[in-house]
Structure 1
Amino acid sequence: MNAAIDQPDQPASVPAAPFLAADVGGTHARVALIQATQNAGRGVEVLAYRKFACGDFGGLAELLQAFVASELRAPVRHCVLACAGQLMGDEVLNDNSAWPIHLPSLRLALALDDIVALNDFEALGYALDNPLACSGRLLCGPDRPTDGPTLVIGPGTGLGAAVRLPGPAGGRVLTTEAGQMDFAPHSIREREILAQLAPDGGYLPYEHIVSGPGLLTLYRTLCSLRGETPWLATPEAVTAAAMACSDAQAAEAVEIFCAALGSFVGSVAMTFMASGGVYLAGGFLDSMFGLLERSAFEERFLHGRSVRAFLSQVPVWVTEHGQHGVLGAARWYLERGGTVAAASRHAVAGGPSP
């Protein structure tokens, strides 16, 4: 399996040998063996790639070791991780992680020279001007390339978002925690849901509504409001029941989910004036594209204010996650070369690997 991504000139310190790139979410991890290439318009090549269920492993070290044991014929000395959450010191902090992620421990367990981490949606942002920008189905807005800031947003185990700002050398990607913004109800029904989930008032992030677990929360809350017992146990089951029109609460949960997603995406698009468009990434939304297309997403995305004229010119695509995360992480790693290596030595201080 091979995939390529355009790559700018690399600093001399970039490792010539293959390295690991992993895209680690709350539910799945995608791991690849990457080789920097010297082809026209330098790029990276995927030498091996696998997708794992995080719940099958006791920790990230065991997951990465499983990939190494099955796919590698020679040791690797470098690794870049795109992780849901934020890097604080030498740990990745995320309430939705399957397990703690501690860089020094991973470095020792895998006998690496260096290991570095970035946010998973930041990595997707670095793939925006490559395969991600050429894939997906148009959900709303004009179907044409535009200039300006570009957003990548994805509800999965959590709710991730990043923005790519145009500029020299491909621009700059900013990670965000937009999914932690306060949920703002737009209907009587949504106010009832908010009162049920936060009966004493206070903070309820969008992530608790607009995510896979959030969809299940919506379904269970609607069952409670109607005095019925929930019988669907997973977000996938809720989506399937809504598609089959076999459960009224499931159908309403999906409708509210899509509408709330539209409000959230529109608000973030307004914040960054995302004239370059919005990419909704992940298999979760891709699998329910028909429901999303028939929902109130577009109306809620456009909002009801003067900014509607601007937002109507912002294209919104739905795209599969695929290898974009590992490719974006590899691009970020190679673009930074020696800077990344220096940062990793500081982050995992304790001497060379054994």
Structure 2
Amino acid sequence: MTVHLDPAPSRHTVPVHAGGPRLLADIGGTNARFALETGPGRIGLIEVLACRDWPTLAEAVRAYLALPRVAATGPVRHAAVAIANPVDGDLVRMTNHHWEFSIEALRQACGFDTLVVVNDFSALARALPHLDQDQKRQVGGGTVRARSPLGLLGAGTGLGVSGLIPADAGYTALQSEGGHVTFSPANEAEVAILQYAWREFGHVSAERLLSGAGVELIYRALAHIAGGQAEPLDAPEISRRALAGECALCDRALEAFCGMLGTVAGNLAVTLGARGGIYIGGGIVPRLGARFDSSCFRQRFEAKGRFADYLAQVPTFVITAPYPAFVGVSAILAEALGA
């Protein structure tokens, strides 16, 4: 599937959808990303809105549709939303943001004929087979085995998890909430971090540590364990200082994060039998670049005792495409519309 990210598609773009342009949305706990698909694979007019700036998702959608460049393409009748949340029934309450809504009420409020709402990582998983070589970067060894399951995880505001299971001529995307499994420490340092985290949370999930807030929690825990006082830094600043070589504690926090992610990725690989590879998205890891490649991630990914040789054959990839979820959510909407 070839996807063109057009800077300014119009109703004259060829080929076009017979039913008019389609709205695609990727909603996380921090940002709401919107785009229009004017024809098969013709995705453009991408805008990123801060979730905190809008009281409801409906208002954010209407704000995007009211943008002059978007409104000029004509009425939008069909839409699909990928959201960082379980989707089970009509009512959606976001885990990492205050938005909640009825899917049917949202459809009516925005004037859509069709509205499909799916889990964001289920949509991202659907995009994996369509990623070109320049839209992903392999970390470590391993070789893709055709027609095998693929695993997906990504740390951002939360920790998303999904996978693709071969089915008939294609794949089935898993609707997983694997980010909420109980965190499992792999060494004494992580036991100490977990003990610190228990002071704040009765249940420490993988997401509590493998997320933006998790980077901050790891940083505070390491400062406490060392007998010091942590500066009040947010995750982007911790990462910036680590990458710039300005703060040894920040670098240790980032390294601990990468190691923990390696363990979780290895768990996902053996759980799914993901010989097709493990893919890493989200807002944190793709920004780390070479620092992630040189971290202990891959060593921890393979550190499964008797299954080390098995995991050494499973490739791991960082997704570098700028908006990969749009490709998956486009495919899901096309299936719903039969075209």
TM norm structure 2: 0.88
Contact 1:283–1:320 (CA under 8 A) maintained in structure 2: no
Other-structure match for 2:184: 184
Residue in 1 that maps onto 2:33: 30
Deviation of residue 133 (structure 1)? 6.4
- Whether 1:68 and 2:65 are equivalent positions in the alignment is yes
Task: Please tell me the residue identity of whatever aligns with 2:261.
Answer: L
Give the AA of the match of 1:60.
L
Which residue does the alignment assign to 1:88? 88
Contact 2:125-2:164 at 8 Å conserved across structures:
yes
Corresponding residue for 2:137? Answer: 137
In structure 2, list runs of 5 or more residues that go unmatched. 7-16
CA contact (8 A) 1:27 1:157 kept: yes
Cα deviations by residue, 1:108-156 (Å, 9 ceiling, x for unpaired):
3212223120010110111111136652111112365644111121001
Query: What do the CA deviations read for 1:40-65 (whole angstroms, capped 9, x no partner)?
Result: xxx33214222222222222112111
- Answer with 290-299 or 80-89: which moved more: 290-299
Shift of 1:237: 0.4
Measure how far apart 1:163 and its partner are: 0.7
Aligned length: 324
* 2:13 counterpart residue number: none
Map of 2:332 onto structure 1: 332
SS across alignment from 2:306: coil
Q: Give the unaligned 5+ runs of structure 1.
A: 5-13, 37-42, 341-354
Q: Matches of 2:333 and 2:142 in 1, distance apart?
A: 33
Deviation per CA, 1:17-39, whole angstroms, max 9, x where unpaired?
22211011111121111134xxx
Q: Distance in 2 between matches of 1:176 and 1:27?
A: 20
Q: Distance in 1 between matches of 2:266 and 2:133?
A: 19
Q: Is contact 2:278-2:317 (8 Å) kept?
A: yes
Q: Which of 20, 24, 32 is equivalent to 1:21?
A: 24
For 1:300 and 1:264, the matched residues in 2 are separated by: 9
Q: Tell me what 1:52 maps to.
A: 49
The whole-number CA distance in structure 1 between the counterparts of 2:92 and 2:102 is 7
1:299 maps to what in 2?
299
Partner of 1:270: 270
Aligned counterparts of 1:113 and 1:103: Cα–Cα separation in 2: 12
How far is the alpha carbon of 1:321 from its aligned partner? 5.2
Q: For the aligned residues, what is the CA RMSD? A: 2.4
Query: Would you say the 8 A contact 2:209–2:257 is kept in 1?
Result: yes
The residue identity in structure 2 corresponding to 1:69 is A
Instruction: Look up the equivalent residue of 2:47 and give its one-letter code.
Output: R
265 and 139 in structure 1: CA distance in 2 versus 1, 3 angstrom threshold: same
Aligned to 1:349: none
CA contact (8 A) 1:84 1:97 kept: no
Residue 322 of structure 1 aligns to a residue in which SS?
coil
Partner of 1:9: none
Is contact 1:82–1:119 with CA below 8 Å preserved after alignment? yes
| Aligned amino acid, residue 56 of structure 2 | G
- The alpha carbon displacement at 1:96 in A equals 0.8
Whole-angstrom CA distance in 1 between matches of 2:95 and 2:200: 23
Residues 80 and 115 in structure 1, CA contact (< 8 A), matched pair in contact too: yes
Q: Is the 8 A contact 1:2 1:46 kept in 2?
A: yes
Give deviations 1:218-256, integer Å, cap 9, x for gaps: 112222233433224211100111112222321111111
Equivalent residue letter for 2:185: P
Q: How many angstroms apart in 1 are the aligned matches of 2:64 and 2:37? A: 13
For 1:201 and 1:107, locate their aligned partners in 2 and report how far apart those are by CA, in whole Å: 37
Aligned partner of 1:39 in structure 2 is none
Check 1:29–1:169 CA distance in 2 against 1; reply closer, same or farther (3 A cut): farther
My pick for the range that moved more, 313-322 or 150-159, is: 313-322
Give the stretch that moved more between structures: 227-236 or 59-68: 227-236
Out of 83-92 and 104-113, give the one that drifted further. Answer: 104-113
Identity score, percent: 31
C-alpha separation in 1, matches of 2:314 and 2:103:
39
Q: Which has the higher contact order (CA 8 A, sep 6+)?
A: 1
How many Å separate the matches in 2 of 1:190 and 1:84?
27
